Amino acid sequence: MSAPAAIASTLEAIVRVLRAAYDPADFNGAVLDFQVYVSDDFTHPMEQGVSLFLYRIYPSASSRAPQGRLLPDGRRQRTKLPLDLHFMATAWARKASLQHEIAGWMMRVLEDAAVLSGDLLNAPRPGVFQPGETVTLSHTDLSVEDTFRIWETVVGHAYQLSVPYVARTLEIESSRTEGPFVPVQERVFGPGQLVVA
């Protein structure tokens, strides 16, 4: 994976998944919006649709720091930074029945798109992800106390029906390199020692 743009690209890719799956006929013609939110957006939220709010970025607990990529000139990038993105997917609608319908639909769509391919992740910003890279989506736990703390302190808005998710594992590459190192040409073994020539 490449630059820090991978974080933004991942959330934008999830929005694209929702937009692509949306059919107004499934909601009696209701027009839905899909956006990535920051805290200020909650002061004037959308009428109806789904927002994604990134509230936490953690170093991945399920992955050791992967070795950096070997570049064509023999230099190696420093170790990658594996990250997990924690976000809330919020269903918006004025009527409870539509809000609940949007929430169920949203969860089904994200379950069906649990593995985001490199092509999809690169659609918002080409070249951010390496070929073959993927990001996995899954539900995560968020206590009631933490949920309301986010809504009261970060968002400063009345609670809306939300589902916590985690996007695993983004590997942010370093722009720093090491080397190039001279390849070993010959190994000479002597009694009790190793000499590299």
> Average pLDDT in the 51-55 region?
94
Other C-beta atoms closer than 10 Å to the C-beta of 34 total 19
pLDDT in tens, 63-78: 566 665 666 666 666 6
> Is the pLDDT reported for residue 109 higher than 90?
yes
Please choose, from the candidates 142, 169, 159, the residue with its C-alpha nearest in 3D space to the C-alpha of residue 42. Answer: 159
Q: In the structure, what pLDDT confidence band is assigned to residue 158 with cuts at 50, 70 and 90?
A: confident
Q: Which residues pair with 56 in a beta bridge?
A: 86
Which residue has better confidence, 43 or 106? 106
Give how many domains the chain has, as a whole number. Answer: 1
Q: In the structure, what pLDDT confidence band is assigned to residue 81 with cuts at 50, 70 and 90?
A: confident
User: Residue 27's pLDDT is what?
Assistant: 95
The whole-model pTM stands at 0.79
Please choose, from the candidates 39, 61, 65, 62, the residue with its C-alpha nearest in 3D space to the C-alpha of residue 52. Answer: 39
Task: Domain of residue 16: give its range.
Answer: 5-196
- 28/55 Cα distance (integer angstroms): 32
15 exposure class (CB count in 10 Å sphere: 0-12, 13-18, 19+): middle
pLDDT above 90 covers what percent of the chain?
A: 49
Of 118-132, 144-158, 171-185, the range with the lowest mean pLDDT is: 171-185
User: From start to end of the chain, where are the E strands?
Assistant: 33-37, 49-59, 76-77, 81-92, 115-116, 135-139, 162-172, 177-178, 187-190, 193-196
Please report which helix (H) or strand (E) contains residue 146, including its range.
helix 144-149
Contacts of 189 (CB under 8 A, 6+ apart): 195
SS3 100: helix
> Is the pLDDT reported for residue 188 higher than 80?
no
